Chains A and B, each alone.
Chain A
Amino acid sequence: MSDAAQALSQALGRGSAHEGAHHWRAQRLSALALVLLAPWFAISLALLPDYSYAELYLWASSLWHAALLALLVGAACWHSMLGVQVVIEDYVRGWLRPAALVLSGFLHVLLAVLGVLAIVRIALGS
């Protein structure tokens, strides 16, 4: 929770927001998803006969591959955003901290949207 939101909560006497474990839980949930998705991606790429455009395009345009690839990009961006957030909160001080947090959040969402749109475009063959 941000300082402003916390101050407001205190002023209104709301007590615990009951979402203290949210970040922790999301980090583990995205980690579990990546435990499955990341080896699938690494091994299926490694097992491809070659890395020509035709081969990769055919591979990525299968419905299952596109779905898992989109989930991989989404889960990786989510997990990365949560991890970078902790690193920023630990090491960045002063006004740079909120600036870095906002920048990191925007960049991660941008990467996720770009990646998923690209995968959808390949899957639809347009």
Chain B
Amino acid sequence: MAQRPLSPHVFIYRFAYTMATSIFHRATGVALSLSLLLLVGFVVALAAGPGSYASYMSLAASWPVQLLLAVLLLCFSFHFANGIRHLLWDAGIGLERKAARFSAKLVTVLAVLATVALLALFYRHGAAP
């Protein structure tokens, strides 16, 4: 393929945080794709019996994995909230600049709140997910 100029020329734009939500949507999406391995691993371990399930859960209980799971939960909450924002855009709702900037802030705040709420539920008995 010939070397043609690529569009859009992202580096000539002044940075706006709506750009950050856009690229984070993609980045969190890729992270969630990788965490499908964890979800399918979980049901496969559960199907394989108590021994496999115990090994899976003891791996999940270590603090680096707990930290990873918490970050993935944040990725999930953000991708979920921002995904609804995208679906509303597809329906023609909230496309104006002011509305898009407001909803960028809104989904970020909602994602953090949802993550904190889910983590509080998961840890309410001191039990690790």
B102-129, CB < 8 A from A: 118, 121-122, 125, 127-129
Against B, the Cβ 8 Å flags (1 = close, 0 = not) of A11-41 are 0000000000000000010011011001100
Contacts of B44 on A, CB cut-off 8 Å? 114-115, 118
- Counting chain A residues whose Cβ lies within 8 A of the other chain, the interface size class is 35 or more
Most buried by B among A38, A47, A53, A76: A53
Complex CA gap A49/B121 in Å reads 10
Known pairs A45-B129, A47-B121, A53-B53; A35 contacts B43 (CB<8 A): no
Q: Which residue of A lies closest to B73 (CB)?
A: A42
Complex CA gap A115/B40 in Å reads 5
Most buried by A among B36, B127, B128, B129: B36
Cβ contact within 8 Å between A119 and B43: yes
B1-47, CB < 8 A from A: 26, 29-30, 32-33, 36-37, 39-40, 43-44, 46-47
Known pairs A38-B76, A115-B39, A119-B47; A51 contacts B129 (CB<8 A): yes
Complex CA gap A40/B32 in Å reads 17
Contacts of A45 on B, CB cut-off 8 Å? 122, 129
Does chain A have a CB within 8 A of B50? Answer: yes
Cβ contact within 8 Å between A115 and B76: no
Contacts of A118 on B, CB cut-off 8 Å? 40, 43-44, 46-48
In the complex, which of the residues B33, B46, B118 contacts A83, with contact meaning CB atoms closer than 8 Å? B33
Does chain B have a CB within 8 A of A84? Answer: yes
Complex CA gap A39/B40 in Å reads 17
Cβ contact within 8 Å between A76 and B121: no
Q: Which residue of A lies closest to B122 (CB)?
A: A46
Cβ contact within 8 Å between B54 and A53: yes
Which residues from chain A sit less than 8 Å from chain B, CB to CB? 28, 31-32, 34-35, 38-39, 42-43, 45-47, 49-51, 53, 56-57, 60, 69, 73, 76-77, 80, 83-84, 87, 108, 111, 114-115, 117-119, 121-122
Which residues from chain B sit less than 8 Å from chain A, CB to CB? 26, 29-30, 32-33, 36-37, 39-40, 43-44, 46-48, 50, 53-54, 57, 76, 80, 83-84, 86-87, 90, 118, 121-122, 125, 127-129
- A-B CB contact pairs (8 Å), 9 listed: A28-B90, A46-B121, A49-B125, A51-B128, A53-B54, A56-B46, A84-B33, A111-B37, A111-B40
